[in-house]
Structure 1
Amino acid sequence: MASIWALALPIILSNITIPLLGAVDAAVMGHMESAAYLGAVAIGGLIFDYIYWGFGFLRLSTTGLAAQAMGAGDGAAARAVMGRATLIALVGAMVLWLVQGYIFQAAAFVIEASDEVEVLAQTYFEIRIWSAPAALMNYALMGWILACKDTKGVLIQQVITNVVNVVLDLWFVMGLGYGVEGVAVATVIAQYCGLGIGLLVLRKNMARHEGQWERARIFQLDKIKQLLSMNMDLFIRTVCLLSAFAWFTAQGAKLGDVVLAANAILLQFQQFTSYALDGFAHAVEVLSAHSVGAKKRDEFKKNVKASTQLAFVFAAGFSLIYILFDSQFIAFFTDIEEVLVMAQDYIFWVALLPLVSVWSFQLDGIYFGLTQTRILRNMMVVSLVFYIPLSLWMMQTYNNHGLWAALTIFMGLRAITLGITFPKVSQRAFQ
C-alpha cells in the first residue's frame, strides 16, 4: 500500500494540474460575451486531444517496455526504448505540421458547429499546432521517467508546465484581451517550457540508472517491429476512445451552442476525475511492469488489489463532491445564465461517471504494464461499435440525457470487456 501511495500521489497531483488548465481555459472563455468562445476552445481542445492522445502510445509503450527492461536489470535496453520513442515523436510532429490544414477541414466536417464557433476554433488550431514537437516529446519523456518510478520528477514537470500556462492564459486573455489567440499562444509557450524541464529530469534519471546508449540496440529490427506493433494497437485504442468523446461533442453541438457549452463544462468534471484516478492506473502500470520483468506474480496480485481499492475510494469521493458542490463548480466556468441552467440539469451523470469509469482506468493501467496492447485495442473497438448506435437511439428519445447515458454505458462496457479477459491474460504474463 505504501509503495502505491508513493507512486500514485505525485502522479495524482501532477495529473490534476492538467484538467485545471483546461478548467482555466474554459473559465476565461466562459466569461466572454458569447458562448461561442467557450464552444470554440472546447472544439479546438478536442481536436488536439484527438491528435496528441492519438500519439499517447509514446507514453504508454515507453513506460511498459522501459519498466520491464529496468525490472530485468537491462539499462541499455531501457535507453534504447527512449531513443525509439524520441524518433517517433519528432517524425510525428513533422507530419502533423505538413497536414495541419487537412486535419482542421476534417474536424470541421465532422463537428457541425455554428459559423462563429468554427472561425474561432480555426484560429485556436492554427496557433496551437506549433506546439506539436514539444507535446509529443513530452509523452516520451514522461513515459521513461515514470518507468524509473520518479513520479516526483513528473510532478515537477507537469506543475511548472501548467502553472506557466495558467499564468499566461490569464495575462493574455484577461489582461491583454487576446481571446482564443491568447489561450492558444499560452499553451504553445508552456509546452516548450515543459519540454525543457522534462529533459532536465530525464538527465537526472539517466545518471541514476546504469547503462549505455547503443545505436545498434535503438535500431534493432525486432524491437522496432515490437514497438510499432504495440504503438499501432495503442494508437487504434486511443483513437477509438477519443472518437467516443469527439462523437459526444459533435452530437451535443447539433443540439445548439448552449448545449455544446454546457457539455464542455461538464466534461471538465470528467476530465478532472479521469486524470486524478489515472494516478492509481499509472502506479499499477509501473508496478505491474516491474513485477513482470522480475517474474514476481504474488507481488503483482497484491499491487493490483491495493491500487484498485484506493482508486474506488477516490472515485466515490469525487462523486460525493460533485453532488454537494455542483452549483459552485459550474458557476466557476461561466456566468451565462442559460448555460448555467443547462449544465445543472445534467450534473447527475457527472456524479455517476467516476463510479463507473474507475474500473476501466485500473484495467487499462494493468494491461499497459503487462504490454497486452492487442486486447486493449480489441475491447475498445467493441465498446465503441456498441456505443455509437446506442447514443443515436437514446438521443432520439431522451436528447442530451440520452447522450450522457450512452457515454456512461460506454465507460462501463470498457471495464466489462477487459474484466472478462483479465484472468487469462494475467496468468499468461507470468508463464
Structure 2
Amino acid sequence: MSRLMTAWQHAPTHRRVWALAAPMILSNLSVPLVALVDSAVIGHLPHAHQLASVAVGGSLYTLLVWVMGFLRMGTTGFAAQAAGRDDGGSLRRILLQGLLLALGFALLLSVVALPLKGVALQLMQPSAELDDLTQHYFHTRLFGLPAALASMALIGWFLGAQDARAPLAILLTTNLTNVALDLYFVIGLEWGVAGAARASVIAEWSGVLVGLALTRGALRRYPGRLDRAAFSRWLNWRPLLAVNRDIFLRSLALQLVFFLITVQGTRLGDATVAANALLLNGLMLTAHALDGLAHAVEALSGHAIGARSHTELRRVLTVSGGWSLLASLTFGLFFLLGGDLFIGLQTDIPAVRDTALTYLPYLAALPLVAVWSYLLDGLFIGATRAREMRNAMLLAVAISLPLGWLLRGLGNHGLWLAFLGFMLLRGVCLGSIARRLQQQGQWFDPIHAQPAETTIVVTKGP
C-alpha cells in the first residue's frame, strides 16, 4: 500500500497524465455529443421510426468503424514504444503503415458492407418505414468511411507520439462540423434523416485533412528518416499486423455484443430500440470521457515499457486508476440524479422518454462497472499485449451470451442485466491476466519488439 501511496503522490506523473488525458477527454466527449445532437434533432421530428432509423443505421456504421479500432489501438502501442526509444525512423514507418492499412480496409469494407447490411436488417425485422430510412442513412454514411478509418490511425499515432492536442484538433473539427451541419441540413434545409447522414460524411473528411496537416509538426519533435527498404520488408509489418489481428478479433466480439443489444431491442418495438439508443448515448458519453484517461495509460505505459521503467509504469497506473474511479463515481451520480433531464434533452416523444426513464438505473450503474475494463485496455494496448486482451474479451463474451439467453424472459430488463454482467466480466478477465503477467514479471518482455530500421556495424582495427 505504501508503494501505491508513493506513486499516487508523485506530482509530475499527475501532470503527465492530465497533459494527455485532458485534451483527449475534451475531444472524446465531442464524439458522443454528435450522437446526442443527432438524437436531439431527429428526436424532435414527429415519428419514432425516424429516430430509430438513425439509431439502427448508426449502429451498423459504428459496427464497421469500431471493428477497425485496431487502426488506432495497435498504432498507439507501437508509436509510444518508439517514442520511448526516441526512434524517429520507426515513428515515420508506423504512421505510413497505419494510413495504408486504413485505406485498404476502407475499400474492403465498402465491398462487403451492403450484403452484410441486408442480413443485419433481416435479423432485426424492422417495420417498413424503419427499414427504408435506415438503408438510406447507412448508404450515405459509407462515403465517409475512408476518412473515418484514416482519422483513427492518425489519432492513435499522435497519442503514441505523446501529442494529445492533434487528436483534439481532429475530433473537434470533425464533431463540431457535424453538429453545425446537422442543425443546418436537418432543421434549416429540412433534409431529415438524410441530412444527418450527409453532415457526418462532410465532417469526417474535414477531420482527416486537419490530421494530415498536423503530422509535420509532430515529426519535427522526433528527428529521423523513413527507411524505404525497411518499410517494404515483411519483418517490419508482421508485429503490427499480428497485434492488429488480435485487436480486430477483440473489437469484433465487443461489437457483436452491442449489435445483439440493438437486434433484441428492435424486436421489442420501435420505442424500446429508440429508448435504448438514448441510454447507450449516455454510455458512450461516459466511455469516451473515461477513455481519455485510458488513452493516457496507453501512451504513458507504452512509453514506460519502451524506456523499460518499472517505476514509471507503476506511477502511471496508480494515478490514472485513481482519477478514473473518481470520474466514474461522478458520472454515476449524474445519471442517477439528473437522468430525467438527460433523456428529456434528447427527445420529447412520450413513449420513448417514458421507456428510457424506466431503465435509467442501469445506465447509472454502468460507469462504476465498466471503468476497470477501460483502464486495463489502456495498459494492454500500450504494452502491445493484444493477444491477452483478445482472450479476455472472448472469455467475457462466451460467458455473457448464455447469461443473456437465460435472462431473455425479462425483456429489456434482462437485456440490460446481461449487458452489465458482460461489462463486469470484461474487467475481471483483464484484471486476472494482468495480475498473472505482473507475478511472472512479463510486462517488459519484448513480445513484439520492432526490428531496427538499419544496422550499422563499426569495426576497429587490432
| TM-score w.r.t. length of structure 2 | 0.91
Q: Is the 8 A contact 2:74 2:243 kept in 1?
A: yes
Match for residue 172 of structure 1 among 185, 193, 203: 185
- Which letter does structure 2 place at the counterpart of 1:210? P
- Which letter does structure 2 place at the counterpart of 1:183? A
User: What residue is the counterpart of 1:331 in the other structure?
Assistant: 344
Q: Is the 8 A contact 2:331 2:364 kept in 1?
A: yes
User: What residue is the counterpart of 2:311 in the other structure?
Assistant: 298
C-alpha deviation, 1:420, in angstroms? 0.7
Distance 1:114 1:240 in 2: 27
Distance 2:61 2:231 in 1: 29
C-alpha deviation, 1:235, in angstroms? 0.4
Match for residue 328 of structure 2 among 284, 308, 315: 315
User: What residue is the counterpart of 1:25 in the other structure?
Assistant: 38
Residue by residue over 1:64-113, the C-alpha shift from the partner in whole angstroms, topping out at 9 and shown as x without a partner, is 00110111121111111111111111111112222332131122133232
Match for residue 200 of structure 1 among 192, 197, 213: 213
Q: Is the 8 A contact 2:151 2:170 kept in 1?
A: no
Match for residue 380 of structure 1 among 385, 388, 393: 393
**Superposition map of 1:206-285 within 5 A:** 206-285=219-298
More helix by share: 1
User: What residue is the counterpart of 1:111 in the other structure?
Assistant: 124
Residue by residue over 1:262-314, the C-alpha shift from the partner in whole angstroms, topping out at 9 and shown as x without a partner, is 10101000000000000010001100000000000111011101101100100
CA RMSD of aligned residues (A): 1.1
Does residue 443 of structure 2 align to residue 429 of structure 1?
A: yes
Distance 2:127 2:227 in 1: 53
C-alpha deviation, 1:395, in angstroms? 2.1
Distance 2:122 2:380 in 1: 35
Distance 1:422 1:33 in 2: 50
Distance 1:84 1:424 in 2: 32
Distance 1:183 1:203 in 2: 33
Distance 2:211 2:192 in 1: 29
C-alpha deviation, 1:403, in angstroms? 0.6
User: What residue is the counterpart of 2:57 in the other structure?
Assistant: 44
Residue by residue over 1:308-360, the C-alpha shift from the partner in whole angstroms, topping out at 9 and shown as x without a partner, is 11001000000111111111110111111111111110000000000000000
- Which letter does structure 2 place at the counterpart of 1:424? R
Does residue 353 of structure 2 align to residue 354 of structure 1?
A: no
Q: Is the 8 A contact 1:84 1:219 kept in 2?
A: no
State the secondary structure of the residue aligned to 1:325: helix
Q: Is the 8 A contact 2:87 2:222 kept in 1?
A: no
Match for residue 406 of structure 1 among 418, 428, 446: 418
User: What residue is the counterpart of 2:6 in the other structure?
Assistant: none
User: What residue is the counterpart of 2:432 in the other structure?
Assistant: 420
Residue by residue over 1:194-217, the C-alpha shift from the partner in whole angstroms, topping out at 9 and shown as x without a partner, is 011101111211122111122222
Distance 1:253 1:392 in 2: 16
Does residue 151 of structure 2 align to residue 138 of structure 1?
A: yes
Deviates more, 1:103-112 or 1:257-266: 103-112
Distance 2:45 2:405 in 1: 32
Q: Is the 8 A contact 2:297 2:382 kept in 1?
A: yes
User: What residue is the counterpart of 2:382 in the other structure?
Assistant: 369
The number of residue pairs the alignment matches comes to 430
Deviates more, 1:140-149 or 1:308-317: 140-149
Distance 2:443 2:232 in 1: 26
Distance 1:384 1:112 in 2: 24
Distance 1:100 1:314 in 2: 37
Deviates more, 1:112-121 or 1:264-273: 112-121
C-alpha deviation, 1:225, in angstroms? 1.6
Distance 1:272 1:282 in 2: 15
- Which letter does structure 2 place at the counterpart of 1:135? A
What's the % identity of the aligned pairs? 40
Residue by residue over 1:104-158, the C-alpha shift from the partner in whole angstroms, topping out at 9 and shown as x without a partner, is 1122133232221111110001111011111111011111111121111211221
Q: Is the 8 A contact 1:37 1:117 kept in 2?
A: yes
User: What residue is the counterpart of 2:449 in the other structure?
Assistant: none
C-alpha deviation, 1:224, in angstroms? 1.3
Distance 1:123 1:411 in 2: 32
User: What residue is the counterpart of 2:139 in the other structure?
Assistant: 126
Residue by residue over 1:378-398, the C-alpha shift from the partner in whole angstroms, topping out at 9 and shown as x without a partner, is 1111111221221121121x2
Match for residue 405 of structure 2 among 392, 397, 403: 392
- Which letter does structure 2 place at the counterpart of 1:392? W
Distance 1:207 1:76 in 2: 12
- Which letter does structure 1 place at the counterpart of 2:349? I
C-alpha deviation, 1:223, in angstroms? 2.4
Q: Is the 8 A contact 1:81 1:218 kept in 2?
A: no
Q: Which of these two proteins has the greater Rg computed from alpha carbons?
A: 2
Residue by residue over 1:233-255, the C-alpha shift from the partner in whole angstroms, topping out at 9 and shown as x without a partner, is 00010011111111111111111
Distance 2:19 2:142 in 1: 35
After the TM superposition, list the runs of 4 or more consecutive aligned residues in structure 1 that deviate by more than 4 angstroms.
Answer: none
Distance 1:403 1:99 in 2: 29
